[in-house]
Every structure is written in structure tokens, then in C-alpha cells.
Amino acid sequence: MKILQINVVCGVKSTGRITTDIAALAEERGYDCKIGYGREGVPAPLQKYAVKIGTPLSNKYHAVVSRALALGGFASKAATKKFIKWVEEYDPDVIHMHNIHGAYIHVGVLFDYLKRSGKKVVWTLHDCWSFTGQCTHFSYDGCDRWKSGCEGCRYKRSYQTVWTNKAKRNFAWKKEIFSGVENLTITTPSNWLAGLIKQSFLKDYPVEVIHNGVDLTRFKPVPSDVKSRHGLDGKKIILGAATAWGERKGLQDFYKLADLLGKEYKIVLIGLTEKQIETAPNSILALPATDGVEELCTWYTAADVFVNCTYEDTYPMVNLEAQACGTPVLTYATGGSVESVFAENVIPQGDVVALAERIKAGVENRLLPSDRLDKQVFYRQYLSLYEKKD
């Protein structure tokens, strides 16, 4: 069996690592695997899977027209046609798409091929971009215009800054392009996102939930002297981590939380920008992104509780990573984040007072079992989907 995955990145970041993890598992079963990708580099050991879509110049042009003309996903036509020619020669049995947004591929050209090819297609949605005019999430804004066509969209900065608002036009394009593919199955990492899809114009496709997982050989308890090195001996550590901090990740809520907790607690935030580090209050230990998984695991292990104050999330990996390192997680009742912890560890969204009270009362060290965390368990479900008879 030949399996082709398509994603904006390959072997890096969360979705890129998911694609290569699936490929490695499929390869163990004797399948041939390739990954079409558009951006960033590919780690040397994983380049055997990688097939580049477009060039740095075509990607840059796509990014520019995405902002100037709101054409994210609707440029790179020549690059996509060239890629489709390669796909036809490779002749995969299964095409598994992930993030097809990210300014690297023309979705119209791609779906035209999918509709005429008759291939088995799996589409894993990691966010909401596929059924909105332009945004990847809308929960924070409380918007439901995606249900009726994104008429009068007010949000130019929901996904990436655009200079002209064409959400209504793009919604109509997507609805026409993404509909009518035979033998297409949508998968999502959370029941929450699956529920939204069933309210969208994609509702006629079968939808299966396959959660994300983590590498338990890498994310595990790692004892260290990280507390003493940062002068935190005797403190109870409240940890938060993100790749991009802001209002939607609850940064200000952590600042409020610090004011509500006593001196025996210390909030540590990882992944802040240089400017955010400079402006963070003294009650917060503000740190940049870590150098690697092991360093991150030392913090997960040292923390007494990991807190996720997210206001928009599909199924956050940080919740899984922390629990794999033996640390309980408290999360807001947001999106699919609630599905990655036990129900008693869910806090009403935005209720910082309740969050502080729960921390002070003590958080029971109750963690999801390994079969709810292990990526191998979930990625084998993708292989079963590939092998499923029509």
C-alpha cells in the first residue's frame, strides 16, 4: 500500500510530527509512505518521506496575497499542479490530508484532483479553518456566522492579519470546493471539533474521532535540579506552557492568578517572547521556549500542577505531555481541552478565583492512563482506517 500525507510542515511542530509518526508506523507494516509539505525544514532522518510542494518564492508570494487579497489557500496554483503531476505518477492508495492552509497549496487544484481520482481520502482537521471564511477558531469571539456563510465577518486578525476581508467569498469557495469528494472520511482529535463539523457544510462526510497522543519514551518524569537553579526550593510550582502566548491562551489570567495565590506558590510560564518576558510581573517566572523535550520535561516533572487557561483549543498536546510526566492538569472548560483531563479538573472558563481556590485546596494527582496518552494507540487507528474496506 502507498500512503501519501499532505501537511504544511513535515517532521516539525505538532502536526508535522504527527505525519512522520504515522508514516513510521505505517512503514513498519511494510507500506510505502510519502509526505507532501510546504514550509520549513525537515529533520535529516525524516527526509526520506518528504516531497516539497512549491518553492520559497512561491510560498512567499502565497503569503503576500493571503494578506493583501485574503487568498490563503487559493494561490500557488502552478506549484500545486506540479505536485499533482508527481502524485499521479506516485499513484497512492490513500491520501491523508492534514493542514492544507498555511499558504503553500491551492485547495481548488488539490480537490479537483481528489474528485476525479477516486482515491480513498482521509482528512484530519486540527482546527476550524476548513469550514469558516478565514479563521481557524471562533470560540473566543463567540462567533457563529460560519453556520450561515460568514456574512459580515468582523475579525481580520483571527488567523492571520488580512488587509481586506473576504470571509463571505472564501466561505462560498470552500463550500463548493470541499463538497462532493467520494470516499472521504474526516477525522478530528476531539469530540468537540467533531460536533462542530456536524453543524457545518462538511456534515455529509463521515466523521471519526482519533485523539492525539505523545511519545511516552520521551515525555516521562525527569528529575532535575531545576527548582534550586531558579531559587524555587520550597515553592509550589504552577506551570503554564505555550508556543504563542496572548489573550486567547489566558496570559492575563495567569497574571491575575499570581495575585490570588500566596507566597508559597510560584507561577512559571514557558514560551514567552522577549517583550513578554520584559513586561511580565515579578510574581511570574517568565521563560522563553525551551531548547528541547528533555528540558521541558524537567519543568513538567518539577511542577505541582500544570494549568491551561486557554480560551480556544482543539485538543492541547501540553495537557497530555504534562500528565505523561506525572503532573496533574487543570484546564478551563474550553473546546476539546476538557477531553484530555478528568472532569473534576475542569474549571469554568475565565473563573480565575475558582482556579486559585482549587489550587489552594490541592489537586489530586489523578492522571489519564497510558493508553489515553500513548500516540501509538491512536496512530494505529489511522492505519485501520487506511485498511478499512470500502
Identify whether the C-beta of residue 96 lies closer than 8 Å to the C-beta of residue 22: yes
Same domain, 33 and 114: yes
The predicted pLDDT at position 164 comes to 66
CB < 8 Å & 24+ apart, contacts of 83-87: 83/36, 83/51, 83/53, 83/54, 84/109, 84/110, 84/113, 86/51, 87/4, 87/36, 87/113
Dihedral-angle region of residue 70 (phi above 0 means left; psi in -120 to 50 means alpha; beta otherwise):
left
Boundaries of domain holding 158 = 2-213+374-387
Q: pLDDT tens digits for 290-308?
A: 878 999 999 999 999 999 9
Residue 50 lies in a domain: yes
End-to-end CA distance of the chain: 15
Same domain, 156 and 34: yes
**Rounded to two decimals, what is the model's pTM?**
0.93
Q: pLDDT tens digits for 167-193?
A: 899 999 999 999 999 999 999 999 999
Of 134-143, 157-166, 286-295, 329-338, the poorest mean pLDDT is in 157-166
- Mean pLDDT within 225-238: 95
The predicted pLDDT at position 135 comes to 87
- Mean pLDDT within 340-344: 95
For the chain, what is the domain count? 2
Same domain, 48 and 194: yes
Residue type, 21: D
**CA 123, chain centre distance (Å):** 14
Same domain, 294 and 187: no
Nearest to 87 by CA among 36, 41, 50: 36
Same domain, 168 and 263: no
Residue 218 lies in a domain: no
Residue 382, pLDDT > 60, answer: yes
Same domain, 208 and 246: no
Nearest to 95 by CA among 183, 168, 177, 171: 183
Report the largest interatomic distance among the alpha carbons of the chain, rounded to a whole angstrom. 64
Residue 317 lies in a domain: yes
Same domain, 94 and 135: yes
Same domain, 159 and 64: yes
Residue 221 lies in a domain: no
Across the chain, mean pLDDT equals 93
Identify whether the C-beta of residue 336 lies closer than 8 Å to the C-beta of residue 189: yes
Same domain, 261 and 197: no
Residue 352 lies in a domain: yes
Grid cell at residue 41: 525544514
The predicted pLDDT at position 138 comes to 86
The predicted pLDDT at position 13 comes to 87
Distance separating alpha carbons of residues 280 and 234, to the nearest angstrom: 22
DSSP string, 117-186: H--EEEEE-SSSGGGSSS-S--TTTT--GGGTT-TT---SSSSS--SS--HHHHHHHHHHHHS--TTEEE
Q: CATH number of the domain that 11 lies in?
A: 3.40.50.2000
- Mean pLDDT within 313-338: 97
The predicted pLDDT at position 163 comes to 60
Same domain, 149 and 263: no
Same domain, 75 and 182: yes
Residue 150 lies in a domain: yes
Residue 161, pLDDT > 60, answer: no
Same domain, 54 and 176: yes
Residue 219 lies in a domain: no
- Helix (H) and strand (E) counts for the chain? 13, 13
SS3 content of the chain, % helix, strand, coil (to 5): 40, 15, 45
Q: pLDDT tens digits for 104-151?
A: 999 999 999 999 999 999 999 999 999 998 888 888 888 888 888 888
> Sign of the C-alpha dihedral, residues 95, 100, 104, 110?
positive
Residue 135 lies in a domain: yes
Of 60-74, 77-91, 195-209, the poorest mean pLDDT is in 60-74
Q: pLDDT tens digits for 26-41?
A: 999 999 999 999 999 9
